[in-house]
């Protein structure tokens, strides 16, 4: 017995405004539908992204009338396909924005929304980013039931916090979503190994669509959108150019992997022994 699911990662470019961002997304989405994908996944900030110095300044709008979100809802409805909108910037009352992702069903209805928990505030060599200067962090982890299985949502920098994925897996998520706009520098060093680790640790499929190319104002996204199976093997890698990759996975592999190595569901409390300066169980 198997549970096949055809998925497509849409490797879009980070665009500076609503109009070009929607055009870019729909262009790739049309290709994904033509190859029979049942769920289409877009990267982080697929609704538009710019930078000013160390700050992120994506174009933002209210959820109810966000041009890119509404355009993608209409696309999902017209093609009768599920979509994961990696994230768009949703205006927040404080003058900042939420970095918010959405799961859309085949009627274009919003089935789940997730605000990025961990904001990208880093210093790597000469590169400095402060997402928190313009974005409000989320507060809740999110899982979403679909006809294909339960999804666990995360966004980009969340990838570096393994406890989140353990929690999502323990909440029943079989597919871990990691839409991203990972930087070129950190992507080259860590993108593949971190995605593989999250799959191995939880016995889950990892689906990680990542934007690719230069960002207006400075910076560059790494690309290499990935599908990783529960054994940690890379099933597809989109490489370093815009486009679409698709594959058919078998969700029954999740149960098989978790049965073989059930560490994802073991919670062993630890305490610190100051006398011995080590952790003991």
Closest Cα to residue 163, out of 131, 198, 132? 198
Could you tell me whether strands 142-146 and 205-208 are parallel, antiparallel, or unpaired per DSSP bridges?
unpaired
Catalytic residues: 44, 116, 156
User: What whole-number distance in Å separates Cα of residue 234 and Cα of residue 167?
Assistant: 23
User: What whole-number distance in Å separates Cα of residue 230 and Cα of residue 261?
Assistant: 10
Q: Which residues pair with 99 in a beta bridge?
A: 89
Extract the tokens encoding 6: 């055809």
Extract the tokens encoding 18: 């609503």
User: What whole-number distance in Å separates Cα of residue 245 and Cα of residue 86?
Assistant: 16
Is the Cβ–Cβ distance between 15 and 24 less than 8 Å? yes
Burial of 185 (0-12, 13-18, 19+ CB in 10 A): middle
Burial of 243 (0-12, 13-18, 19+ CB in 10 A): middle
Is the Cβ–Cβ distance between 31 and 244 less than 8 Å? yes
Closest Cα to residue 209, out of 35, 6, 9? 9
With b for 16 or more beta-carbon neighbours within 10 A and e for fewer, the 197-209 pattern comes to bbbbbbbbbbbbb
């Amino acid at each position: 017995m198997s549970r096949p699911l055809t998925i497509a990662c849409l490797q879009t470019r980070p665009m500076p405004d609503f109009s070009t961002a929607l055009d870019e997304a729909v262009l790739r989405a049309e290709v994904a539908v033509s190859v029979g994908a049942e769920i289409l996944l877009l990267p982080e900030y697929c609704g538009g992204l710019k930078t000013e110095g160390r700050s992120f300044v994506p174009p933002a709008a209210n959820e109810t009338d966000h041009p890119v979100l509404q355009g993608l809802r209409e696309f999902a409805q017209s093609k009768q396909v599920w979509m994961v909108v990696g994230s768009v910037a949703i205006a927040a009352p404080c003058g900042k924005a939420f970095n918010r992702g959405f799961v859309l069903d085949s009627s274009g209805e919003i089935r789940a929304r997730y605000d990025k928990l961990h904001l990208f505030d880093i210093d790597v060599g000469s590169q400095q980013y402060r997402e928190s200067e313009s974005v409000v962090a989320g507060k809740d982890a999110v899982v979403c039931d679909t006809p294909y299985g339960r999804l666990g949502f995360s966004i980009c920098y969340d990838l570096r916090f393994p406890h989140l994925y353990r929690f999502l897996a323990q909440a029943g998520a079989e597919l871990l979503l990691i839409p991203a706009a990972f930087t070129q520098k950190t992507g080259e060093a860590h993108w593949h190994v971190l995605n593989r680790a999250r799959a191995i640790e939880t016995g889950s499929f990892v689906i990680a669509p990542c934007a690719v190319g230069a960002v207006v104002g400075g910076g560059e996204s790494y690309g290499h959108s990935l599908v990783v199976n529960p054994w940690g093997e890379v099933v597809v890698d989109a490489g370093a150019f815009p486009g679409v990759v698709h594959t058919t996975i078998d969700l029954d592999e999740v149960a098989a992997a978790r049965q073989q190595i059930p560490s994802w569901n073991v919670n062993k409390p630890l305490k610190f022994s100051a006398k011995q300066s080590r952790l003991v169980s």
